[in-house]
Chain A
């Protein structure tokens, strides 16, 4: 797959095995060399807000889990929505969940900040298609 220059991927998931799996898949597909993992959505928010000092925010794909303790995916989205345009416009959020809950699914689909909901286990094919869909202008 053609790599997108300086694309970085941020993974947010409380399940460390899933983080590892997703990291490996991204590496396998050579989607990005920069993968930053967070087991806690709060920490990810902190990291993103520290990015404000960067002269240029790199294109970013965020794979966000739904159910997490402390701060869940929806709470993350709500908090992130108040972030400066400079950061938000560079971040493309994809939800990744094993949830079959009707409420979770409809809430995800209704959220304008979410590009797509991918089911766990994350499949290479889905991941590839999603990245290509988001960054088609770069390729």
Chain B
């Protein structure tokens, strides 16, 4: 508790004032004292305080002069001026220039001084929290920008080379391709590029309002399956959609979620599995939709389950390292639309994700 006490520096050339102050307040605050501005400055080099109280009338430097001198090097502590006589001009000037937070008349009223100190500290604390929050936000924004930039370049650049090669092979007719494989390659590359662009879009629009529209899960799931099937043609997809009532939700975010989860289910299959499968079940109720994505793939180590939604976390025990971003996006997208996610997994047996998304149908709005 003691460590959390407010630290105050009180500067006054009259020692009995310093003693009186200590006597009244030492139980409430951590108090440092100095008999001159000079001594006070030395002390401030060693100790960081939240509040500085200075007497106005001191030899050499006055209180206002002292505050003026330190305000650039120590802008954070709250400054309170103590004054025995009414040198109004100086005080008004100092307050207007923002050098001091408040002034107290001598002899001080104990209750009033208490209140002033506590109010000053409250402002100090709020300012500090605000600064910390701003720093945090700047860091997050910076991460976001770097992510968008590397996505738009590092991921797209090789894809665009592939498209360039396909275009060239058509121009010079150098590839014999009676079964149209090159076209299939192109279709997949374009789909993947489309998805990359969607991720970028998602981040760009992350501050924009969520948009609700009618969603048909059969169509949505089929689109996803068409996109991922070519990656592993062995996989048997099973879908089961129970959609008796209309569902309204944010199409873009929901497809981002499904794309990521289905992509993982397809990617992390056991190589030796003779019957790889991905099971997709959707159940729409008036107030929510429950979507279950189950696979019989390699599964996730139980000690990694807590971390899989963290940005850039990659589970170590697989030889197909991902980008470490997919499930993070899933979680972020879900939190935007008020959804939840649960994961169950047995290493070597498979994984099941269950997500619930609120249904924003007419009854809701």
Contacts and interface: CB of A to CB of B under 8 A. Distances in A.
Interface of A: 15, 17-18, 21, 24-25, 28, 67, 98-101, 119-124
Interface stretch (B27-35, B50-58, B112-120, B165-173): B165-173
Interface in B93-109: none
A67 B152 CA distance: 11
A24 B149 CA distance: 29
B61 interface: no
B178 interface: no
B152 A18 contact: no
Interface stretch (B15-23, B37-45, B153-161): B153-161
Contact of B160 (A25, A28, A98, A101): A98
Given A28-B172, A100-B152, A120 B167 contact: no
B167 A121 contact: yes
B192 interface: no
A57 B148 CA distance: 41
B164 interface: yes
B197 A21 contact: no
B308 interface: no
A20 to B, nearest CB: 9
B200 interface: yes
Interface of B: 148-149, 152-153, 156-157, 159-161, 163-165, 167-168, 171-172, 197, 200
A100 B156 contact: yes
A21 B165 CA distance: 7
Given A28-B171, A121-B160, A124-B171, A100 B165 contact: no
A68 to B, nearest CB: 10
Contact of B157 (A98, A122, A123): A98
A121 B200 contact: no
Contact of B164 (A28, A101, A120): A120
Nearest to B189: A121
A119 B159 CA distance: 13
Contacts of B156: 98-100
A17 B167 contact: no
B142 to A, nearest CB: 14
Contacts of A67: 153, 157
A121 B156 CA distance: 10
26 contacts: A15-B157, A15-B161, A17-B161, A17-B165, A18-B160, A18-B161, A18-B164, A21-B161, A21-B168, A25-B171, A28-B168, A28-B171, A67-B157, A98-B156, A98-B159, A99-B156, A100-B152, A100-B156, A100-B200, A101-B149, A119-B160, A120-B157, A120-B163, A121-B163, A121-B167, A123-B167
Nearest to A27: B172
Contact of A122 (B164, B172, B197, B200): B164
A28 B167 CA distance: 12
A101 B148 CA distance: 8
Nearest to A67: B153
B185 to A, nearest CB: 13
Contacts of B153: 67, 98-99, 101
A13 B360 CA distance: 49
A10 B159 CA distance: 23
Q: Give 5 closest A-B pairs by Cβ, nearest first.
A: A121-B164, A120-B160, A98-B160, A100-B152, A121-B163
Contacts of A24: 168, 172
A26 B160 CA distance: 18
A120 B157 CA distance: 8
A105 to B, nearest CB: 10
Contacts of A100: 152, 156, 197, 200
A121 B161 contact: yes
Contact of B168 (A25, A101, A119, A120): A25
A31 to B, nearest CB: 14
A67 B157 CA distance: 10
Nearest to B155: A98
Nearest to B159: A98
Contacts of B159: 98
B101 to A, nearest CB: 42
B152 A101 contact: yes
B307 to A, nearest CB: 30
